[in-house]
Amino acid sequence: MPARRKTALLQGSALSLFFIVALIEPAYAQSLEPLENLADFIVNFLTGPIARSAAIIAVAVLGYLGFTGRLRWGIAGSVVVGIALIFGAATIVDAIQGSV
């Protein structure tokens, strides 16, 4: 193959490659909706009706412990703080996010 023909072929290839790259639309990122749905499910599971039922059971157990005289105030405080953190988690995160 003559050198002149080789140069023309390389220039044509380079020009074609330039136009192909210039005309490519940027790829759109894949949707993360499945992961968002999973995270929403976990949040609803941990703070929804099941968590409410568990909190009611925990407070009832504290009541029975207090009724029988075996309630330790450290455990009662831990349960109350835990319940406040579970159901106040969204508010706490929103407050921290708003301050940043």
What pLDDT band is residue 29 in, cutting at 50, 70 and 90? low
Q: Is 23 helix (H, G, I), strand (E, B) or coil?
A: helix
**Predicted confidence band of residue 42 (pLDDT cuts 50, 70, 90):** very high
Residues contacting residue 55 through CB under 8 Å, at least 6 positions apart = 83, 86, 87
- The chain-wide mean pLDDT, for the chain, equals 85
* The predicted structure's pLDDT at residue 30: 66
pLDDT at 20: 73
- Please report where in the chains the tokens 């023309």 appear, as a residue: 8
Of all residues in the chain, the percent with pLDDT exceeding 70 is 86
Domain limits of the chain?
A: 29-99
Q: What is the DSSP string of 48-88?
A: SHHHHHHHHHHHHHHHHHHHHT---HHHHHHHHHHHHHHHT
